[in-house]
Chain A
Amino acid sequence: MIFVFLLAPAVASALLALVVRPYRAAVGWANGALSLVAVGAALALWREVLGGRVPVAGPDDLLRADALSTLLAFCVSLVGALAAWLGPGLGDDSWDATQARRFRIFANLFVFTMLFAVTTDNVGFMWVAIEATTITSALLIPLHASKASVEASWKYILIGSVGIALAFAGTVLAYFDFSTLVGRETTALSWTLLREVAPALNPRVLELAFVFILIGYGTKAGVAPMHTWLPDAHSEAPSALSAMMSGVLLAVALYAIVRWQAVVGRAAVSPGFAENVIGLLGVLSLAIGALSLVAQRNYKRLLAYSSIEHTGLICVGLALGPLGVFASMLHLLNHSLAKSTTFLLAGRVLGRYKTAEIEGVTGLLRTMPWTGGFFAAGMLAVIGLPPFGLFVSEFALVRAGFAAGRPLTIALVLALLAVGFVGVLAHLNRMLYGPPPGGVPIGERGHWALVPLGACLAALIVLGLTVPAALDGLLVSIAGIVTP
């Protein structure tokens, strides 16, 4: 029943937007209300999981939500709700009715595919759903048809589809061995079963499969060197979509990798196999993300490269044992909140200044005191400054690194984080102060949209001061799932 409340709202909103034409604001309001139902359902799942239960539903237990699914379902539904309230047609009025309608249809389908991907127990369907996220989101990137946005979406759909096809090849390879062990039932792609029989699977085949899976889903997660589409797609997309892509789509792709890591970790593969490859690619992504931050001239691309940096950081955490998994999952939640908020704020800045160039934006604090202040807070959160949550999760990650006996990796990570830190701070400084360019109206508009964004920043501060018991319980049980 919980699953109905989690998955149906997005489908209903998409259908509503499809049926009602031309677009009316009422559709947006209904979408906003329904998106909150999904958040409620995710919270209900959370309570179930903390109570030690694992809700399942559907034929062959197709839907299953353990702690890992619950964390992701929460992130996706929350960011989905933010986008529903602040996206084209409700909070963002810079789009016409046709564009708003198209956004509502595909954005909701996008949310649905992500929620389904994280709550299905079947790794085959998980793949189908993640592939579908590419299709639903690619159509929304060129909401304003321009050369740049068409180019960005072409790179996205081509690289994304090819990458995800490789993840399918990996899934198929893992299934070879499995089907001879268990038989050719529909349940043969069940993750629960896969994890159970993992110790009996052929380690060499599973290693090959995992490499394909990591490259495949890693492409969607923005893991270097397959990240090239990401800065283009995330910067050219409408801000509400950027918020979802950076905030949760990357997390969903990482989720798929974590699911497989949990299987491979139990198999008789060479010790530390999965950890080593994930960690290596993680450090590479972190390096590319952090170093690219310095040279950016466009603030949306700046945020996109920062996402690559954080994807890298989460991967590094996954390679550092149970403490590392705890830290990187906490980081995943923090990053979802911080990056979606910042992208939505960047959308407000873009709406006012009509340029995404850092050079074109000056005196942000004078033209839009609240948006500017929040944007600054969001950026400081993203670079990991206290009192925001990302500081705590990065600190936890560093501790996990020392506990796992990887001081050199940690030193490298800290150095790269410092580079990114300085890069972002210099750009931010230039945007906040100075005289605003002529022709840019002064004064805040649409104050109510700032309320949810402020709430997210407040939540980040809470997460920076303490890890609430409910969250701690969830993260501990995720660490138990991934590293037995």
Chain B
Amino acid sequence: MDSLFAQLVVLESSLALIFGLVLLWRRGVPAYVNAFTWQSIVLALVAATVAWFGRQRELYVVAALLVLLKVIAIPRLLARMERRFATERELAPYVNTATSLVVAGLLVLFGYAVMRPVVAASELPTRAAMPLAMGLVLVSLFVVVSRKKALTQVIGFLVLENGIALLALLGAYGIPLIVELGVFLDALMGFLVMQIFVYRIHETFETLDVDQLDRLRH
């Protein structure tokens, strides 16, 4: 039973990581939105898996909220922004695709290294997948700093949040539900405010290229 559980979460976490890597090799926001949506579905599946095998009923609520917020609501808003800024493709990020993938590979290895003490200390059947979640966190951080378009940065940030949620699910079967609700509320508000600013940047700079945001230097 436990080994099935362990294999399932490793499989699901690997999928989540791969959808995160899509942000590095594909160009164009629609592909990113798709990757994020699929990753959120996988994350909801992880929550449901942990809820079933780990007998944590409140995680079903978390899975349902994940579907509502990150599979339905946020991707819709993202798609709407994408249509509005259809011409704004991520054509030339600061770091090219090949280098990005190498860096991502190194980051995943680094994730394994830093998580060693945590994996060693844990007795949960889910522990084997924890380094993958840390890898996802690090890769998404890299996405945020290496991309030029405001919209891509927002998606990178959303993937970062997914990575941390995955880490919490695997490491401790989620955080207490009441705190989780606060985190969801923050995630939603934070996203909405970022969306306001993406529109504002477009209004004032007539581009989403954050390269153009260079007025404030010393």
Q: A165 contacts which of B150, B161, B200, B201 (Cβ < 8 Å)?
A: B161
Chain B neighbourhood of A236, CB < 8 A: 216
- Min CB distance B15 to A, Å, is 20
**Bound state CA distance, A176 and B216, in angstroms?**
41
Given the known A-B contacts A150-B197, A202-B121, A296-B218, are A208 and B114 also in contact in the complex, defined by CB atoms under 8 Å? Answer: yes
Given the known A-B contacts A128-B183, A151-B215, A204-B117, are A162 and B144 also in contact in the complex, defined by CB atoms under 8 Å? Answer: yes
Which residues of A in the span 118-145 have a Cβ within 8 Å of any Cβ on B? 122, 124-125, 127-128, 131-132, 134-135, 138-139, 142, 145
Q: Is the CB of B182 within 8 A of A128?
A: yes
A342 in the interface (beta carbon within 8 A)? no
**Bound state CA distance, A184 and B183, in angstroms?**
17
Q: Is the CB of B215 within 8 A of A168?
A: no
Given the known A-B contacts A168-B183, A176-B122, are A151 and B176 also in contact in the complex, defined by CB atoms under 8 Å? Answer: no
B102 in the interface (beta carbon within 8 A)? no
How big is the A interface, by class? Answer: 35 or more
Which residues of A in the span 176-194 have a Cβ within 8 Å of any Cβ on B? 176-177, 179-180, 184-186, 188-189
Which residues of A in the span 142-185 have a Cβ within 8 Å of any Cβ on B? 142, 145-148, 150-155, 157-158, 161-162, 165-166, 168-169, 172-173, 175-177, 179-180, 184-185
**Bound state CA distance, A180 and B218, in angstroms?**
49
- Min CB distance B32 to A, Å, is 16
Q: Is the CB of A147 within 8 A of B205?
A: yes
Given the known A-B contacts A153-B197, A172-B171, are A165 and B189 also in contact in the complex, defined by CB atoms under 8 Å? Answer: no
Chain A neighbourhood of B160, CB < 8 A: 162, 165
Q: Is the CB of A169 within 8 A of B167?
A: yes
Which residues of A in the span 181-215 have a Cβ within 8 Å of any Cβ on B? 184-186, 188-189, 202, 204-205, 208
A92 in the interface (beta carbon within 8 A)? no
A411 in the interface (beta carbon within 8 A)? no
Q: Is the CB of A205 within 8 A of B200?
A: no
Q: Is the CB of A124 within 8 A of B176?
A: yes
Interface centre among A148, A155, A184 (most CB of B within 10 A): A184
Chain A neighbourhood of B185, CB < 8 A: 128
B213 in the interface (beta carbon within 8 A)? yes
**Bound state CA distance, A297 and B217, in angstroms?**
11
Q: Is the CB of B179 within 8 A of A122?
A: yes
**Bound state CA distance, A139 and B200, in angstroms?**
11
Q: Is the CB of B176 within 8 A of A189?
A: yes
Which residues of B in the span 161-218 have a Cβ within 8 Å of any Cβ on A? 161, 164, 167-168, 171-173, 175-179, 182-183, 185-186, 189-190, 193-194, 196-197, 200-201, 204-205, 210, 213-216, 218
**Bound state CA distance, A172 and B137, in angstroms?**
13
Chain A neighbourhood of B179, CB < 8 A: 122, 124-125, 128, 186, 189
A455 in the interface (beta carbon within 8 A)? no
Closest residue of chain A to B216 (Cβ to Cβ) is A232
- Min CB distance B34 to A, Å, is 22
Q: Is the CB of B201 within 8 A of A152?
A: no
**A301-336 interface mask toward B, CB cutoff 8 Å, 1 = contact, 0 = none?**
100000000000000000000000000000000000
- Min CB distance B172 to A, Å, is 4
Q: Interface residues, chain B, CB within 8 Å of chain A? A: 56, 114, 117-118, 120-123, 137, 141, 144, 150, 153, 157, 160-161, 164, 167-168, 171-173, 175-179, 182-183, 185-186, 189-190, 193-194, 196-197, 200-201, 204-205, 210, 213-216, 218
**Closest 7 A-B residue pairs measured CB to CB?**
A204-B117, A124-B179, A128-B182, A176-B171, A151-B213, A202-B121, A232-B216
